[in-house]
Amino acid sequence: MHGLNFDPDICVRCTTCDCVMKCQYMEYDLETAIQEHEKLVAGEQSKILTDCVTCYACEEYCPYNNHPFYLIVDRQEERGIHPVPKPIEKSQVVMMGPNGRLKSKEVSPPVMNMCFFTVMNASIRGTLFDGVTKFGGSDVFCNLMFLHFARNSTISERLPLMIENIMEKFLTPAGVDEVICYHDECYGTYTSWAPAYGIDVPFKPIHLFDYIYHRMLELKPRIKPLGVKVAYQRPCSNRLCPQTDHFVDDIFSLIGVERPKREFEYENALCCGGVPEAQQRFELSEDLQKKNIEDMKATGATYGVFNCPFCFWTLAEQVIKAGMVPIMMSDLCLMALGE
């Protein structure tokens, strides 16, 4: 397993312990937070290991980019702590594994990796995605979801093969060196997790919203401002690439929608309640979903906007019951193009 690029001295010098104190799920005073984090760094048993809901947020909260969440997952795996029941963990590892059936495909830029979300292929449509070549499946799956299962070893074992498959089957033969990542988690894998564990990424990942924004700029003469209020559900996996979050407001500004202030957004965003760890704690999952829906509704939004399919599948029905329309960001942009 590749080792984490983690500096314990940074944690020793840190006096604010932002990664724990800003957590919306662990309520520790500063003294307790520092003590428990010191245990974590030392490889000892810490309450953090069992209280963590695997929302990724501490990766964003750490001002030193010292990867506190990746460290938590490493320590959970070292100590045999399973955030979800072991039978579920084992079945997911097997079910989501590579099957060796990937076939080469002729591609031309722009190229999009759908990762394990090939079920969403139909959503990549219309003028917005004219000319985009797609590939996906278990043999190019980033495997980062196994952070929720305390299985960094699975990611470390599989990711180099996934990268090799992407290069050999698609990019190298076509002379392409950029890949649009359909999902935040995939983008976060290549820009955060891989560098943290010393895994080389020989292509340039492009965030989906980066692509959408610049494509919409090209199509700007066709945009008809929608003139509606929207509430955006920021996915946990965007915590691994917070530098891309500005594209949400950039896109909204382009298509003429209003984003009223929410309590749970930007750095204060809440998990949708759909991650495996939250689902094992039914009351927590129910509470997170309720807070998100009530917060969306309070804005007076017409649309609840999503990027992550898991967030969409978790909250869509409740969004409808609250009187709003659940919609993926790409579909909202297509509406602004009259499609």
pLDDT tens digits, one per residue of 15-32: 999 999 999 999 999 999
Average pLDDT, the chain: 95
pLDDT value, residue 278: 55
Q: Strand 111-113 and strand 178-181: pairing?
A: parallel
High-pLDDT (> 70) share of the chain, %: 97
pLDDT in tens, 216-241: 999 999 999 999 999 999 999 999 99
Q: Which amino acid is at 107?
A: V
Is residue 79 exposed (0-12), middle (13-18) or buried (19+ Cβ within 10 Å)? middle
Q: What is the residue extent of each domain of the chain?
A: 8-78, 95-211, 219-336
What pLDDT band is residue 285 in, cutting at 50, 70 and 90?
confident
Third-level CATH fold of 219-336: Rossmann fold (3.40.50)
**Overall average pLDDT of the 333-338 stretch:** 98
Confidence at residue 283, expressed as pLDDT on a 0 to 100 scale:
82
Contacts 24+ apart (CB under 8 A), 287-295: 289/314, 289/315, 289/318, 291/264, 292/233, 292/264, 293/318, 293/319, 293/322, 294/322, 295/231, 295/262, 295/263, 295/264, 295/270
The residue length of the chain stands at 339
Q: Is 175 exposed, middle or buried (0-12, 13-18, 19+ CB in 10 A)?
A: exposed
pLDDT tens digit sequence for 165-221: 999 999 999 999 999 999 999 999 999 999 999 999 999 999 999 999 999 999 999
